[in-house]
Amino acid sequence: MLISEAGLDVVKRFESASALQAFAGFDPSKTYSADKVRSKKSKKGNKYIHTTTIQIAQAILQHGKNENKLAKWGRLYKLRMGGAHNQAIAAIGKRIINISYHKMDIYPGGHKKRVCEIIHKPLIL
């Protein structure tokens, strides 16, 4: 989904993982007033990538095995945040985008064969 929405040249198009996270709608907007900083959900970003990533994160948090590092991290995050389920899901989603960006960064040039290897489908185009 990420490649279909963001394109094959994700690493060239986005200069950092945080830029890709912003494109996917995982950067909260902040409002500043005097001494207070308030965060709220970002309304911007690609809704298809955001929705798909949130669904993946929900499945990981609810059904992930204990051997799965991301599921384990998400459960620990949820405990640290006092049982904030939706915050844990958003944090896992953000981490999924971050991992995806860095996996694609391993193979510079956006070569189609290498992108398919990243997706774990050995397919030569």
pLDDT digits 0-9 by tens, 95-110: 998 888 888 776 555 4
For the question of whether the overall pTM of this predicted structure is more than 0.85, the answer is: no
pLDDT digits 0-9 by tens, 25-69: 887 777 777 788 777 666 678 888 888 999 999 999 998 888 888
pLDDT digits 0-9 by tens, 65-78: 888 888 888 898 88
Task: State mean pLDDT over 115-122.
Answer: 48
Residue 125 is predicted with a pLDDT of: 39
Complete DSSP assignment for 67-113:
T-HHHHHHHHHHHHTTS-HHHHHHHHHHHHHHHHHHHHHHSTT--HH
